[in-house]
Copies of this chain bind each other. A is one copy, B any other.
Amino acid sequence: MQLIDGLAISKIIKEELKVEVQKRTSQGFKRPHLAAVLVGSNGASVTYVNAKVKACEEVGFDSTLVQLSEDATETEIIEAINGLNNNSNIDGYIVQLPLPKHINEKKVLQTIDASKDVDGFHPTCLGKMMLGLPTFLPATPMGIITLLERSNIETKGKHAVVIGRSHIVGLPVSVLLQRNHPFGNCTVTLCHSHTKNLEEICMQADIIVAAVGIPEFVKGSMVKNGAVVIDVGITRVQDDSKKSGFRLLGDVEFATASEKASFITPVPGGVGPMTIVSLMQNTLLAAEGKLAN
């Protein structure tokens, strides 16, 4: 079993991005500039946004944090977004999810200018992805493909089983894995809460992507010998033995699955760091203006 060290891979890519930024600034171009909209002060959201700001510093991007209070109205959030749409100094931005319950998340996300949507959630980005047109790919699915690529894992003709059909991970990664691409061309099965005989389907998988949001859902008994296991889940579970009071669990029972897998991502330090790196890669693409959105 070989660990897919997302943290190490993300560091290598950040170094590559840093070099690219230095090259651009030395040529007289401005630094790529990422903004983040944070509504409220949800603990996990603050952590994620801070990590994104820190990643910008590491690679030499400018960053701007737009903070709104928990009770911000939909209109106020949309005004902030329009401000970013019209600010030519901002190359790309993200709206940290989840938004407070009183906000129509779909409506807000659709006001993001697709040419600045470096999270790749905009309908136009997803549609272009389906059609194989150049676009920002959604960050976590893109990070998963990058992990496969950087680990030199052959995907062509492999059977990939994706568990979970969320709009931000499961469904788009199933599209990416099937497309005609050096790290695509998989036969893809998309499973979800209505799937029967999930264990039997998983046992056929050469590649399992677990994105279901239930800690330790995928057991070793569901993993074929030699399969590649990508664990997208990350759930805080109470653990009084830890100073923080919690520990992080993935969607895969690591102890048993790692005995069967040829490659496996740990949690934390697997897919997580790649999401941020994909965001940085998309922001550089936005700054380069190479995508005619």
Task: List A residues at the B interface (Cβ < 8 Å).
Answer: 106, 110, 122-128, 130-133, 156-157, 159, 165, 167, 171-172, 174-175, 178-179, 185-192, 194-196, 201
Contact = CB atoms under 8 A, between A and B. Distances in A.
Q: Chain A: interface secondary structure?
A: mixed
A126 B133 CA distance: 12
Nearest to A200: B204
Contacts of A190: 174, 178, 187-190
Contacts of A165: 178-179
Contacts of A186: 194
B123 A156 contact: no
Contact of A196 (B128, B157, B194): B157
A280 B201 CA distance: 39
Given A122-B127, A127-B126, A178-B165, A194 B189 contact: no
Contact of A167 (B131, B159, B189): B131
Name the residue in A179, A195, A201 with the highest tally of chain B Cβ atoms < 10 Å from its Cβ.
A195
19 contacts: A106-B131, A110-B133, A123-B124, A123-B127, A123-B130, A124-B127, A125-B127, A127-B130, A156-B194, A159-B196, A175-B175, A178-B190, A178-B192, A185-B192, A187-B191, A187-B195, A188-B190, A189-B190, A190-B190
